[in-house]
Structure 1
Amino acid sequence: MPAAQSTLVLLAHPHLDSSRINAALAGAARDCPTALVHDLYAACPDGHIDVEREQRLLEEHNTIVLQFPFYWYSVPPLLKQWMDEVLLEGYAYGHGGDALHGKTLQVVTTTGGPAASYRPAGYNRFSAVDLLLPLDATAHLIGMDYPDPLIFHGVRTWSDGDVRAAAARYRAFLDAPVREAAA
């Protein structure tokens, strides 16, 4: 891996081939020279996770982006399985579990519902940020920084122009840590 690739995008979409939004976002990430996109569903089509390979990928990158569609107020099933199998005690937390300390865990997710539905008066009752708190707690447990999630709301109704704009925003977002580090 080139030293310039400091960001690992863990893409977790069970139906990426039929996705407009996450596929476009993944394309933008693939165009970013500082990011490596790792499609979990393509890498683990049978559900078998090569834990050593996944841990090696984590160790080789400073920023880990979890990119996924918000799935029943959580992450898609393979990403949850990945977390259970890869973020082990003694590796990611607990005695001797400091392999990821000081790195950044960045969440990038999409919701079908509009932003207004993710608030106390909305039909989801909670903000998306609140619903993502288990990932914040995970980052805290394993010693990673957890900046505010990047959430793309209401994607079901997006036009092609909206999709292109979101992809451009995501690409700029991925480039931002490089600009900040160089400043």
Structure 2
Amino acid sequence: MKTLILFAHTFWENSKVNKALLESVQDTPNLTIENLTLTCPNGNIDVEAQKALLKNADTIIFQFPLFWFSTPSLLKEWQDRVLTGILYGSEPKMLEGKSFGIVTTAGGAESSYDGHHGATIEDIFVPIYHSFKYLGVKPKKPFCIFSANAQNLPLADYKAYVGA
């Protein structure tokens, strides 16, 4: 199984938690990390290159820190350009049968995402999962690290989720 982690972080240079997570799996065979923050400067997304990465993966994972109940803007731009390019391109069914999941880190406690503010963590991700499901991709339950702290990360659980 080949896994592709598509990662974005608005404040990458200051990241501690996500850098530690990615470093823990960077040498894993059959796992590719695409740090969009570095490979797509100024939001310049090479759609064909991204489609090639997707085509080669069995499992696709979005990884990002949760800010304002959403993804970093670069990841949304990626969705707009790449997923639209797939749907209206020459291979609209290229993602069928693949799996999709989300790894996210949140500074807040798990209780902040239990629905008492109007939405659970799963509710927040409905549009992302729906987009991939629309393209024939099977969903994996999201993996969220709440109260994220670089000194106390659930690395074994994270590695299991991403297939490392």
Q: Which runs of 5+ in 1 are unaligned?
A: 177-183
| 1:181 alignment partner in structure 2 | none
TM-score with structure 2 setting the length: 0.91
Deviation of residue 37 (structure 1)?
0.5
TM-score with structure 1 setting the length: 0.82
Deviations 1:10-60 (A, max 9, x none): 011122221111111111221322211010010011211101000111001
Cα RMSD over matched residues?
2.0
Are 2:70 and 1:77 equivalent residues in the alignment?
A: no
Distance 2:115 2:80 in 1: 30
The total of aligned residue pairs comes to 164
**Paired residue type of 1:98:** K
Distance 1:49 1:65 in 2: 18
Is the Cα–Cα contact under 8 Å of residues 117 and 125 in structure 1 kept in the other structure?
no
Is the Cα–Cα contact under 8 Å of residues 6 and 34 in structure 2 kept in the other structure?
yes
Are 2:162 and 1:174 equivalent residues in the alignment?
A: yes
| 2:121 alignment partner in structure 1 | 128
Deviations 1:127-159 (A, max 9, x none): 11111111121121111001100111111xx36
Q: Which runs of 5+ in 2 are unaligned?
A: none
**Paired residue type of 1:110:** T
CA gap of 1:151–1:26, structure 2 versus 1, over 3 A, is same
CA gap of 1:57–1:140, structure 2 versus 1, over 3 A, is same
Are 2:10 and 1:14 equivalent residues in the alignment?
A: yes
Deviations 1:73-120 (A, max 9, x none): 11100000000000126x237996111111111111111110001123
CA gap of 1:114–1:54, structure 2 versus 1, over 3 A, is same
Distance 1:95 1:55 in 2: 11
Pick aligned residue for 2:146 from 153, 171, 181: 153
CA gap of 1:126–1:88, structure 2 versus 1, over 3 A, is same
Is the Cα–Cα contact under 8 Å of residues 24 and 167 in structure 1 kept in the other structure?
no
SS at 1:13's partner residue? Answer: coil
Q: Which has the higher contact order (CA 8 A, sep 6+)?
A: 2
- Percent identity for Structure 1 against Structure 2: 34
**Paired residue type of 2:104:** T
Over 4 Å off, 4+ runs? 93-96
| 1:141 alignment partner in structure 2 | 134
Query: Larger Cα Rg: Structure 1 or Structure 2?
Result: 1
Distance 2:93 2:134 in 1: 10
Is the Cα–Cα contact under 8 Å of residues 98 and 143 in structure 1 kept in the other structure?
yes
